[in-house]
Amino acid sequence: MARPIVIHADWDPEASVWVATTTDLRGLVTEAESIEELRAKLPGMILDLLEESGTVDRPASIEIVARASDRIDAAE
């Protein structure tokens, strides 16, 4: 069975979007306003990129690792 494609999704507070990248598949970079939107668009993008690269072994799953951070300011 093929290993999952691991997607790293990082929150960009300035743009208010999740930016998704992976080292598992060349050329995959996208963004969306929510994780749900990313989950909806990633399968099609991944299959298109795999087809373009001529990859026969399709992944069995997509794993999304999301990371967001917030600054905590001391009360004045």
Q: What would the pLDDT profile of 10-64 be if each residue is shown by its tens digit? A: 999 999 999 999 999 999 999 999 999 999 999 999 999 988 988 877 777 999 9
Range of the domain at 60: 5-67
Helix count and strand count (H, E) for the chain: 1, 4
pTM metric for this prediction: 0.82
Closest by CA to 30, choosing from 50, 13, 10, is: 10
Q: Looking at residue 52, which CATH number applies to its domain?
A: 3.30.2390.10
**Residue 72 is assigned to a structural domain of this protein:** no
Residue 75 lies in a domain: no
Task: Quote the number of domains for the chain.
Answer: 1
